[in-house]
């Protein structure tokens, strides 16, 4: 019986793999188009900004499409052995090793060939922290690349230098930080957050809570020194807030970072999943909100809160950029994880009285100016969305 179940499960996995692989196969070559959206994961945010008159091609990456088309394969092989393009291999091998370096080169050339086939004048992407974008830019000079920042990029986390064409950053402060890391762009623009603007441009029905705690759960990643320091600091913050809330009547809710039963839901070294971690600290009565798809839920919930708090989530910075009250609480021993952030939204755990007074002050300010805050966020979001819409339209 047990063997039969295992056999059926094995057959199911094989069938699923075959089906997934077959769905990746495309017998036509990539179509001619005006605009390429690089990666399908966040396509909706861009599609809403592109005129219907424009032809759009979505370059899928997870998983990528396999083109079994004679014309495409012939051109791909030509590009692989193009002496001008082959000059990149030595540099990739030097930094990544022979096998990985050559595999990266093949991936580069495949995507270059796909984009070249489309003849697109403009490419838009939110994959801003991958050096492949810079290598594609050097090969596709006739295509304008517009990269939109999709998360905080800090020195401790990113060692790889990235190059861009147009780079729409969260803020001018971020631009200075990225330049100090060696990042390059033909034009840096202090823009804001596209994800936040997409949600903050909508009317807020009602305010649901005083405080939203945005989780900084690391999940199932390498448990290096950064993992340990960040999880330890988050736990200290949560213990402090849990005790503080016992003596106040604030309405508090927690927004999870991981998907229930997803790959980052359970941390083996902690022995708990994310929800269990929070209930263990804040108690069984605390209301815990699901993460939702593509980080959309986080901005909806921030907009419906008087104050958002986190130990590290980039959503705190994004909320601040659009005028919503937000705070980082640093219960670590240094400022390494906060060096590129505005100092006025970072409070140190060693000054608990200041934290308590700031929480009270910001909640009161939000209540007093609630309508103005919402209107300001809507106006700035619409301005930023129109700016990007016009930029894409102009270069396509």
Residue 340: the pLDDT is 82
What tokens does 127 get?
Answer: 């994959």
| CA-only gyration radius of the chain, Å | 23
Decide which of 206 and 280 is more confident.
280
Which tens digits make up the pLDDT trace of 324-357?
Answer: 999 999 999 888 999 889 999 999 999 999 999 9
- Looking at the structure, give the CATH architecture of the domain made up of residues 200-378: 3-Layer(aba) Sandwich (3.40)
Q: Per-domain residue ranges for the chain?
A: 20-191, 200-378
CB 289 within 8 A of CB 258: no
pLDDT at 354: 96
Taking only the tens place, the pLDDT of each residue in 212-267 is: 999 999 988 888 999 999 999 999 999 999 999 999 999 999 999 998 888 999 99
The chain-wide mean pLDDT, for the chain, equals: 90
Q: What is the pLDDT of residue 92?
A: 85
Give the pLDDT confidence of 65-105 residue by residue, as tens digits.
Answer: 899 999 999 999 999 998 787 778 888 888 888 899 889 99
- Percent share of the chain, pLDDT over 90: 69
| 138 pLDDT tier (thresholds 50, 70, 90) | very high
Residue 3 has pLDDT above 50, yes or no: no
Q: Which tokens belong to 242?
A: 């849990």
Question: Does 94 or 31 have the greater pLDDT score?
Answer: 31
The reply to whether the predicted model has a pTM over 0.85 is yes
- SS3 for the chain, per residue? CHHHHHHHHHHHHHHHHHHHHHHHEECCCCCCCCEEEECCCCHHHHHCCCCCCCCEEEECECCECEECCHHHHHHHHHHHCCHHHHHHHHHHHHHHCHHHHHHHHHHHHHHHHHHHHHCCCEEEECCCCCCHHHHHHHHCCCCEEEEECCCCCCCCCCCCCCEEEEEEECCHHHHHHHHHCCCEEEEEEECCCHHHHHHHCCCCCCCCEEEEEECCCCCCCCCCHHHHHHHHHHHHHHHHHHHHHCCCCCCEEEECCCCCCCCCCEECCCCEEHHHHHHHHHCCCCEEECCCHHHHHHHHHHHCEEEEEECCCHHHHHHHHCCCCEEEEECCCCCCCCCCCCHHHEEECCCHHHHHHHHHHHHHHHHHCHHHHHHHHHHHHHHHHHHHHHHHHHHC
pLDDT 10s digits, 44-71:
899 999 998 999 999 998 888 899 999 9
Two tokens, residue 322: 């659009």
Q: What is the pLDDT of residue 352?
A: 94
């Amino acid at each position: 019986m047990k063997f039969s179940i295992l056999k059926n499960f094995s057959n199911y996995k094989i069938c699923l793999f075959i089906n997934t692989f077959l769905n990746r196969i495309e017998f036509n070559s990539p179509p001619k188009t005006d605009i390429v959206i690089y990666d399908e994961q966040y396509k909706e945010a861009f599609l809403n900004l592109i005129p219907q008159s424009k032809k759009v091609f979505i370059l899928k990456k997870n998983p990528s499409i396999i083109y079994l088309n004679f014309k495409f394969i012939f051109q791909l092989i030509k590009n692989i052995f193009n002496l001008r393009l082959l000059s990149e291999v030595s540099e990739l091998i030097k930094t990544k090793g022979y096998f990985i370096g050559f595999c990266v080169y093949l991936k580069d050339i495949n995507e270059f060939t796909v984009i070249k086939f489309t003849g697109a004048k403009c490419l838009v992407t939110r994959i801003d922290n991958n050096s492949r974008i810079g290598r594609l830019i050097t090969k596709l000079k006739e295509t304008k690349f517009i990269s939109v920042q999709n998360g905080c990029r800090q020195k401790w986390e990113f060692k790889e230098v990235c190059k861009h064409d147009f780079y729409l950053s969260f803020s001018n402060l971020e631009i200075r930080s990225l330049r100090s890391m060696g990042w390059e762009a033909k034009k840096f623009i202090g823009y804001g957050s596209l994800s936040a603007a997409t949600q903050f441009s909508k009317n807020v029905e009602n305010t649901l809570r005083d405080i939203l705690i945005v989780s900084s759960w690391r999940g199932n990643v390498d448990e290096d020194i950064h993992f340990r320091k960040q999880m330890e600091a988050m736990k200290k913050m949560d213990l402090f807030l849990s005790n503080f809330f016992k003596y106040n009547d604030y309405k508090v809710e927690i927004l999870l970072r991981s998907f229930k039963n997803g790959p980052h839901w359970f941390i083996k070294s902690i022995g708990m999943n994310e929800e269990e971690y929070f209930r263990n600290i804040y108690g069984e009565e605390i209301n815990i909100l699901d993460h939702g798809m593509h980080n959309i839920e986080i901005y909806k919930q921030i907009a419906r809160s008087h104050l958002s708090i986190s130990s590290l989530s980039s959503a705190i910075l994004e909320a601040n950029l659009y005028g919503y009250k937000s705070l980082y609480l640093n219960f670590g021993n240094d400022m390494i994880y906060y060096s590129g952030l505005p100092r006025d939204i970072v409070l140190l755990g060693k000054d608990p009285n200041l934290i308590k007074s700031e929480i009270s002050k910001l909640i009161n300010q939000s209540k007093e100016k609630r309508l103005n805050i919402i209107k300001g966020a809507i106006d700035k979001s619409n301005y930023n969305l129109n700016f990007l819409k016009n930029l894409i339209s102009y270069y396509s």
